[in-house]
Amino acid sequence: MPNLSLNSAMRILITGGAGFIGSHLCKRLSEKNEVVCMDNLLTGKKSNIDGLNVEFLEQDITEPFDVNADLVFNMASPASPVFYQKYPLETLETNSAGIKNVLENARKYNAKVVQASTSEVYGDPKLHPQPETYWGNVNPIGPRSCYDEGKRFAESLCMNYHTKYEVDVVLARIFNTYGPNMLKKDGRVVPNFICQALKNEKISVYGNGEQTRSFCYADDLVEGLVLLSEKGRGGEVYNLGNPREYTILQLAEQVKEACNSSSEIDYRGLPEDDPIKRKPDIAKVISETGWNPKVELKEGLSRTVEWFRGVC
């Protein structure tokens, strides 16, 4: 397989390019490359890519397409629990028929693929922190299964295209990520808390707030994806996330401080199958690509709050 280097201009297809992480990738890569941004705008927003030098194609990846590219980032899929539970069948379709179309297109053009997988493949993990070798603990028929099992199926399809057709595909298991361009109503914890804190409304902590997540700032995550496109080995899986772990209550306090807010905590029911803890083991991506997230939660929240001020 050719060793790709983003130092020379390439033609890059970013599916889900108008979504949260996809739009940051479009921005990062369109400065030096020809970028095609494909999105069906189900949960993405055209305004996320306004002013960027990208070609936009309004297209659902579940419909066949033909786009010549050297490199593909498949970021297409609803990704927040609220949205994938609102669109469960679309989520399953995107992560089965959709990824098949992405892989067929890559096979035709001999393109490398970076597949956006997820920490959700580990479900509610029994092993902590989670290394790539962990097989996970997923409820196959629970409310999160459309996403968890969808992404697990997508990983399997990628691996089998790699083995059978030698498609150069790298799997990136993305852990909780936050930053500008998240939808204020996508239901994830960071936009929820920031919008509540900015309006001095009660902060909705689900359960007792002792469950943990590890939050990676969008710019860091995007650098990780770019490095994986350059140095990631085909047929391999890499965790991408910030290993600094916080309880949801600690996050609420940090958000209050970043917003200078007087909001009180409002404890609500814990959603079914909500993972109790999550923290990536990132030794593999560090040793193979040199990636390491740099932005501390305090700094990342402060940048995110500034962006949300005009949005909430």
Residue from 75, 248, 258, 301 in contact with ligand UDP (CB under 6 A) = 248
Marked catalytic residue, from 87, 122, 147, 238: 147
- 230 — phi, psi (to 5°)? -90, -45
Residue 222 near residue 6, CB atoms below 8 Å: no
Which of these ranges, 27-35, 154-162, 199-207, 289-297, lies near ligand UDP under the rule CB under 6 A?
199-207
d(CA 44, CA 23): 9
Are the C-beta atoms of residues 158 and 113 closer than 8 Å to each other? yes
Residues 293-312 that bind ligand UDP (CB under 6 A): none
The two beta strands, 245-247 and 212-214, are antiparallel
Closest distance of CB 88 from ligand UDP, Å: 15
Select 22 or 191, whichever has its Cβ closest to ligand UDP: 191
Nearest distance in Å: CB 99, ligand UDP: 20
Does residue 55 belong to the site contacting ligand UDP (CB under 6 A)?
no
* Contact with ligand UDP (CB under 6 A) among 85, 204, 247, 250: 204
- Residue among 14 and 251 whose Cβ is closer to ligand UDP: 251
Q: Is 217 in the active site?
A: no
CB closer to ligand UDP, 162 vs 188: 188
Question: Would you count residue 176 as binding ligand UDP (CB under 6 A)?
Answer: yes
Sign of CA dihedral 270, 155, 243, 137: positive
Quickly tell me which residue has 């350059």 as its tokens: 230
Element (H, E) at 75: none
- Which one, of 60, 76, 304, lies nearest residue 180 by Cα? 304
76-95 footprint of ligand UDP as x/- string (CB under 6 A):
----xx--------------
Q: How far is the CB of 266 from ligand UDP (least distance, A)?
A: 9
List for the chain the helix, strand, coil content (%; round to 5). Answer: 40, 20, 40
- Binding test (CB under 6 A) with ligand UDP, winner from 188, 194, 215, 221: 188
Q: Which residues pair with 35 in a beta bridge?
A: 12, 54
For β-strands 216-217 and 177-178, DSSP reports them as parallel
Stretch binding ligand UDP (CB under 6 A), from 35-43, 84-92, 182-190, 236-244? 182-190
Report if residue 123 touches ligand UDP, rule: CB under 6 A: no
Ranges of H-type helices in 166-217: 189-198
- Among the candidate windows 2-10, 14-22, 198-206, 216-224, which touches ligand UDP by CB under 6 A? 198-206
Nearest to residue 84, comparing CAs of 187, 194, 191, 157? 187
135 closest CA partner among 88, 89, 173: 173
Chain residues that interact with ligand UDP, rule: CB under 6 A: 80-81, 176, 187-189, 192, 204-206, 211, 213, 248, 271, 274
Would you name the residues annotated as active-site residues? 147
